[in-house]
């Protein structure tokens, strides 16, 4: 069977990360699959990003926009992309050299799959490896997800890769319709994704109303609604964790939680009959999302936290822990913060 071929458009949104962005772009340019274009979308940087990336290679295109967020940056990249395939690469991540070549082989083997994603290696700010397999650590929805149950297709990577390294011989790639499992939470990390341009055009762009974070879950959830997707059980990227400028930093927890609720509510409104879950499970998922928002807001916006705890209990009354925190949220905020500070001091003792 002939290898799938075609231009891959790699979209790299960035903001004031000149040197990290350079490393990300160089990892794309170093792919064993050479037919790529790299579109760096600068979201209003004030550093020397333009000078650093523009001279790297003729395959790199630099676009600038006034600061509008990562969704708008990715959408600008999509509008400018010329490839038959789309890949996303965040400017603080980097790819292993074989990533695109192996993913294209998976899409060749699975012509009905519109997207393929992978596991990832977690590294610290210095680049030292922390976890060889981090995907299931980062995305809590994997505790509800079973590959044997939710995927229809399961094959070894060795079956499609003649020169497969020995350590990959028994690793698997999978395919199936994951729209219902994705309702329980995100399973896909954006920098690991490769998708067909035809699939992306059917999905559309990133939702710019999901400001600051959470836009990736919405996009990948909509992608799984289009049809089959594939997962490759190897780590194809190096994902930097622990940095203060990451969109997943702890101070953005409330934004992530609110956007999670927006995403699942929107999908219930437009595709409830496609989510193959009983009404009780839908209510539990909504209850979880409200409780998540409340937990993130407990010490910053107590009134809002109380409302979300109460809504969570209305949806699912059988939550002893949520009920306890609901009662705590009724206490004066000064007392709540004092209790939190005492707990932290005891933990450090």
CATH number where 72 lies: 3.90.550.10
Q: Are 52 and 198 contained in the same domain? A: yes
In this structure, the dihedral spanned by the alpha carbons of residues 313, 315, 318 and 323, taken in order and rounded to 10 degrees, is -10
DSSP result, 75-104: HHHHHH---SEEEE--TT-EE-TTHHHHHH
Nearest to 1 by CA among 112, 85, 104: 104
Least confident interval from 161-175, 267-281, 311-325: 161-175
Model-level pTM?
Answer: 0.92
Q: Average pLDDT for residues 203-224, to the nearest whole number? A: 94
Q: Which domain holds residue 139?
A: 8-250
pLDDT at residue 148 greater than cutoff 60 = yes
Q: Are 64 and 203 contained in the same domain? A: yes
pLDDT tens across 47-76, in order?
999 999 999 999 999 999 999 999 999 999
- Quick one: pLDDT band at residue 2, thresholds 50, 70, 90? low
Q: Are 173 and 309 contained in the same domain? A: no
* Residue 255 falls inside a structural domain: no
Domain boundary among 250, 268, 287: 250
Going along 193-272, which residue ranges are E strands?
Answer: 194-196, 229-240
* Residue 115 falls inside a structural domain: yes
The domain total for the chain is: 2
pLDDT at residue 30 greater than cutoff 50 = yes
Q: Are 312 and 224 contained in the same domain? A: no
Domain boundary among 232, 250, 268: 250
pLDDT tens across 73-115, in order?
999 999 999 999 999 999 999 999 999 999 999 999 999 999 9
Q: What mean pLDDT, rounded, does the chain reach?
A: 93
């Amino acid at each position: 069977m002939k290898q799938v071929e075609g231009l891959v458009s790699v979209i790299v949104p960035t903001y004031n990360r000149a040197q990290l962005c350079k490393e990300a772009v160089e990892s794309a340019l170093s792919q064993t699959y050479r037919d790529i274009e790299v579109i760096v979308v600068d979201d209003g940087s004030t550093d020397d990003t333009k000078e650093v990336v523009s001279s790297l290679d003729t395959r790199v295109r630099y676009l600038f926009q006034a600061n509008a967020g990562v969704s708008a940056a990715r959408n600008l990249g999509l509008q400018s992309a010329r490839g038959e395939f789309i890949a996303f690469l965040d400017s603080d991540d980097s790819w292993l050299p074989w990533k695109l070549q192996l993913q294209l082989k998976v899409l060749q083997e699975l012509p009905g799959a519109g997207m393929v994603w992978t596991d990832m290696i977690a590294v610290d700010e210095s680049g030292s490896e922390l976890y060889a397999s981090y995907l299931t650590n980062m995305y809590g929805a994997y505790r509800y997800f079973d590959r044997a149950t939710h995927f229809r297709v399961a094959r070894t990577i060795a079956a499609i890769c003649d020169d497969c390294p020995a350590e990959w011989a028994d690793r698997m790639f999978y395919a199936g319709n994951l729209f219902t499992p994705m309702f329980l939470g995100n399973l896909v990390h954006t920098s690991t994704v490769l998708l067909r341009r035809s699939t992306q055009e059917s999905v559309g762009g990133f939702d710019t109303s999901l400001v600051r974070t959470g836009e990736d879950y919405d996009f990948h959830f909509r992608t799984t609604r289009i049809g089959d997707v594939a997962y490759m059980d190897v780590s194809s990227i190096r994902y930097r964790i622990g940095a203060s400028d990451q969109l997943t930093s702890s101070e953005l927890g409330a934004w992530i939680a609110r956007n999670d609720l927006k995403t699942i509510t929107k999908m219930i409104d437009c595709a409830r009959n496609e989510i193959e879950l009983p009404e009780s499970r839908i209510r539990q998922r909504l209850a979880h999302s409200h409780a998540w928002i409340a937990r993130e807001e407990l010490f910053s916006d107590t009134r809002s936290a109380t409302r979300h705890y109460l809504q969570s209990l209305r949806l699912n009354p059988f939550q002893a822990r949520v009920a306890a925190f609901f009662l705590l949220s009724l206490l004066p905020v000064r007392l709540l913060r004092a209790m939190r500070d005492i707990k932290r001091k005891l933990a450090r003792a």
